[in-house]
């Protein structure tokens, strides 16, 4: 090793350092192999997941004999057997959740470096907070298809995982869109999953599949439509109606795809500017003309004028085939439901997947939406992120290089908080560790891998700013259950793990995770029914302090008691406000240019301005200036655009030596390209290219400021 690195101190650091690898999947397999081959002697890998057949194509440490076993244990054993060189190599496997309370701050402090190879946001956020609390550097990573990213997080040195605000794992859709006006295949797939739950799973009124009369667009027709519903009959749930009809496939088919569609057509306001849906009756199947005919190719077929692959599960079913699959899967699911009780939809459950694929395509047909193959439905319904083994391999290598760079600059004598005036280590990490993007190569972007300086911490970050964040949460105390507030807001949105809710300024505990875990089954059932208004201390403008001792993290929350239309709030029962700006996962306007991007292409796409904006925005540290106010070139410089071309003209200020390069981000043929030019130079792009943003960094009156000018497409 000394011969390779030519640095005995680094060799010793590699041998002595303890690495925690969180996640033993696609990236995790590559990382543990690289660490052992590099010479790391103490590696711990933790993962709660077990090995599935679908993992075998890209997680090379596993084979068929390992299916059903712990990923962490198998990865540790196989990697140690094949890649550990020399004696005293310690590879530990932990089959558990990293969010378990037993893995506290002292656990994280026992490691030199933590590496994230996770696939969900909640766990990423938790590890981010624990590493900040323990003052242990974290290497964050991720991959999606051909794209990937690696960046280092160090307390007080670089932006943390949550510096860009709240993230969410899945996109949500308004209830009225799902139930009344679907326009995309995913809308129909979500509706089909809701139908599965209504018929065979835990009945959730919020996921009803019947036409939605609360839609604001049909408000003027509600009274008229309600007259058609008999007042002397108790409304039936979808399951009650299906059970009454013995889950008859023909009756259920006509109800879902004919009667309900005809009812929607009576909501005439919905179809003034939309394409009307077409009811589909069972009798129409006998005379349907949507049939697939063989094509000249042996690997494809022509269906409705389009050519589709004949590969298994990639064929587009005909309407008749959809009904047949729907009927057969309905019969099987009914039998399982009668034997086992409530079922849970799983993408790997063949019968459940067939049901959702058939139902979603039948609904898509009614609304004139593109139908999808079973393969595509599985990917969309299961929120499957495309994974490519070569991408994971590259990312795994980059992670290992970042770990080596960290060790070159870390002081291992202590994990204590760094002294305010001790900046040598921080500067070394800032200068040597990078934020790295892996992207597709194109004519306009020949580099497969691009690296940039680590972004500074966001001074307004809820997690790493060093202050107790204060946020406002608006909801209806008389309508929201306390358990929903805890699970949907604290756990899911704010990523708490073990919260205690107190009235600020007092020791009065309103709700505690530890106490909730010790409740009896009877007490738990009672707690589930409690509204927030049942807690006398919870009133409008009450100030709560939520503490998570495990994460060493606190938040001050001011509750605002207010009713609002859920459909206008993307179906959410709450609104979160911070610094007079609503937290959005896909925020259009960000208050800081120091942004961490967790996915290169998606992040750059999010920097586009809303087309409704009339002026471009130039952002400084804490303020927004209109571009027509930028007249003092000697003070802040100016970036001008040629109106009739795609040329960007950068006008420098008088002191060129204080100016740095300009980064231009543009989109070409659907791909993002990044170009750096000298300040004062020109950037020319193809006519079909969208200018996304221009970054400029220069010194202004001895204060360094960041400027970001965003420009819409130049017509």
d(CA 472, CA 251): 48
Given strand 703-710, what is the order of strands in its sheet? Answer: 624-626, 617-619, 703-710, 690-700, 659-668, 671-677
d(CA 616, CA 607): 12
DSSP per-residue codes, 208-243: --S--TT-GGGGGGHHHHHTTS-TTSPPPPHHHHHH
d(CA 333, CA 97): 32
Q: Token digits for 233?
A: 């009959």
Q: Which ranges constitute the DSSP H helices of 488-520?
A: 513-517
Burial 514-548 (b: 16+ CB within 10 A, else e): eeeeeeeeeeeeebeeebbeebeebeeebebbbbb
Is 382 labeled as ligand-binding? no
Q: Token digits for 110?
A: 């026992």
Is 461 labeled as ligand-binding? yes
How far is CA 554 from each of CA 167, 546, 550, rounded to the nearest angstrom? 18, 6, 11
Is 163 labeled as ligand-binding? yes
Does residue 318 contact residue 290 with C-beta atoms inside 8 Å? yes
Is 124 labeled as ligand-binding? yes
Is 98 labeled as ligand-binding? yes
Q: Token digits for 529?
A: 């029914």
Is 385 labeled as ligand-binding? no
> Token match 């029914």: residue?
529
d(CA 156, CA 164): 16
Strands (E), 521-615: 543-548, 553-561, 575-578, 581-582
Burial 580-598 (b: 16+ CB within 10 A, else e): eeebebeeeebbbbbbbbb
d(CA 586, CA 596): 13
Closest to 62 measured CA to CA, from 47, 45, 50: 50
DSSP per-residue codes, 364-385: HHHTTPPP--HHHHHHHHTTPP
Is 23 labeled as ligand-binding? yes
Between the two ends of the chain, the Cα-to-Cα distance in Å is 57
Q: Which residues contact 343 (CB under 8 A, 6 or more apart)?
A: 196, 200, 201, 333, 336, 337, 352
What angle is formed at CA 92 by the lines to CA 90 and CA 94, rounded to 5 degrees? 175
Is 705 labeled as ligand-binding? no
Is 145 labeled as ligand-binding? no
Is 549 labeled as ligand-binding? no
Handedness of CA 413, 417, 419, 424 (dihedral sign): positive
Is 670 labeled as ligand-binding? no
Is 445 labeled as ligand-binding? no
Closest to 15 measured CA to CA, from 88, 72, 96, 120: 88
Rounded to 5, what percent of the chain is helix, strand, coil?
Answer: 35, 20, 45
Is 681 labeled as ligand-binding? no
Is 171 labeled as ligand-binding? no
Crossing angle for the helix pair 185-200 and 374-381, nearest 10 degrees? Answer: 80
Element (H, E) at 302: strand 300-303
Give me the active site residues, please. 176
Is 27 labeled as ligand-binding? yes
Is 57 labeled as ligand-binding? yes
Is 444 labeled as ligand-binding? no
Q: Which residues contact 295 (CB under 8 A, 6 or more apart)?
A: 301, 302, 307
Is 97 labeled as ligand-binding? yes
Is 56 labeled as ligand-binding? yes
**DSSP-derived secondary structure letter, 617:** E
Is 545 labeled as ligand-binding? no
Detail the residues annotated as belonging to a binding site: 23-28, 47, 55-58, 71, 97-98, 119-124, 160, 163, 461, 464
Annotated binding site for Zn(2+): 160, 163, 461, 464
Binding positions for ATP are: 23-28, 47, 55-58, 71, 97-98, 119-124
């Amino acid at each position: 090793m000394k011969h390779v690195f030519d640095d005995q101190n680094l060799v010793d650091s590699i041998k002595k350092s303890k690495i925690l690898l969180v996640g033993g999947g696609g990236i995790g397999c590559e990382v543990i192999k690289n660490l052992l081959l590099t010479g790391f002697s103490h590696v711990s890998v933790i993962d709660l997941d077990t090995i599935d057949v679908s993992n075998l194509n890209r997680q090379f440490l596993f084979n068929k004999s390992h299916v059903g076993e712990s990923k962490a244990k198998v990865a540790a054993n196989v990697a140690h057997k094949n890649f550990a060189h020399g004696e005293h190599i310690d590879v530990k496997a932990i089959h558990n959740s990293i969010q378990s309370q037993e893995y506290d701050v002292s656990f994280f402090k026992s490691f030199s470096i933590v590496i994230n190879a996770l696939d969900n946001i909640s766990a990423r956020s938790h590890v981010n907070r624990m590493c900040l609390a323990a003052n242990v550097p974290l290497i964050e990573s991720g991959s999606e298809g051909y794209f990937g990213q690696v960046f280092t997080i160090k307390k007080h040195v670089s932006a943390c995982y949550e510096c860009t605000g709240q993230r969410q794992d899945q996109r949500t859709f308004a209830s009225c869109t799902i139930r009344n006006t679907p326009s995309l295949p995913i809308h129909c797939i979500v509706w089909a999953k809701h139908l599965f739950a209504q018929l065979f799973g835990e009945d959730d009124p919020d996921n009803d599949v019947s036409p939605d009369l609360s839609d604001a667009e049909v408000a003027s027709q509600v009274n008229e439509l309600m007259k058609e519903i008999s007042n002397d009959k108790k409304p039936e749930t979808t399951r009650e109606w299906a059970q009454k009809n013995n889950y008859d496939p023909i009756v259920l088919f006509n109800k879902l795809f004919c009667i309900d569609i005809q009812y929607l057509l009576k909501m005439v306001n919905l179809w003034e500017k939309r394409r009307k849906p077409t009811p589909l009756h069972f009798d129409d199947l006998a005379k349907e003309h949507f049939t697939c005919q063989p094509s000249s190719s042996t690997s494809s077929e022509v269906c409705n004028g389009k050519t589709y692959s004949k590969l298994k599960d990639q064929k587009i079913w005909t309407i008749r085939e959809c009904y047949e699959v729907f009927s057969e899967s309905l019969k099987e699911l009914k039998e399982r439901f009668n034997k086992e009780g409530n079922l849970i939809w799983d993408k790997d459950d063949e019968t459940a997947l067939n049901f959702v694929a058939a139902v979603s395509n039948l609904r898509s047909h009614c609304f004139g939406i593109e139908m999808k193959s079973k393969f595509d439905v599985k990917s969309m319904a299961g929120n499957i992120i495309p994974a490519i083994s070569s991408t994971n391999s590259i990312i795994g290598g980059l992670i290992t290089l970042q770990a080596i760079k960290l060790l070159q600059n870390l002081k291992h004598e202590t994990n204590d908080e760094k002294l305010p005036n001790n900046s040598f280590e921080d500067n070394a990490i800032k200068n040597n560790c990078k934020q790295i993007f892996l992207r597709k190569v194109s004519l306009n972007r020949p580099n497969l891998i691009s690296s940039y300086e680590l972004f500074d911490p966001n001074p307004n970050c809820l997690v790493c700013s060093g202050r107790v964040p204060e946020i406002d949460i608006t909801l209806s105390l008389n309508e929201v259950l306390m358990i929903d507030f805890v699970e949907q807001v604290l756990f899911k949105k704010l990523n708490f793990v073990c919260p205690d809710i107190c009235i600020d300024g007092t020791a009065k505990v309103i709700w505690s995770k530890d106490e909730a875990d010790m409740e009896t089954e009877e007490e738990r059932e009672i707690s589930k029914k409690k509204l927030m208004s049942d807690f006398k201390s919870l009133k409008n403008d009450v100030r709560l302090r939520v503490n998570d001792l495990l994460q060493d993290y606190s938040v001050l929350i001011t509750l605002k008691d207010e009713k609002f239309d859920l459909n206008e709030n993307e179906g959410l029962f709450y609104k979160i406000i911070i610094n007079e700006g609503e937290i959005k996962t896909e925020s259009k306007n960000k208050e800081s240019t120091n942004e961490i991007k967790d996915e290169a292409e998606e992040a750059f796409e999010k920097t586009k301005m809303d087309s409704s904006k009339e002026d471009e925005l130039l952002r400084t540290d804490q303020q927004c200036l209109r571009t027509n106010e930028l007249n003092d070139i000697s003070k802040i410089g100016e970036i001008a655009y040629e109106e009739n071309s795609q040329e960007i003209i950068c006008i420098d200020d008088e002191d060129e030596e204080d100016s740095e390069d300009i980064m231009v981000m543009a989109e070409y043929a659907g791909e993002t390209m990044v170009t750096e030019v000298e300040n004062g130079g020109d950037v020319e792009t193809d006519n079909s290219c969208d200018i996304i943003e221009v970054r400029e960094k220069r010194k202004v009156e001895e204060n360094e400021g960041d400027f970001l000018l965003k420009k819409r497409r130049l017509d």
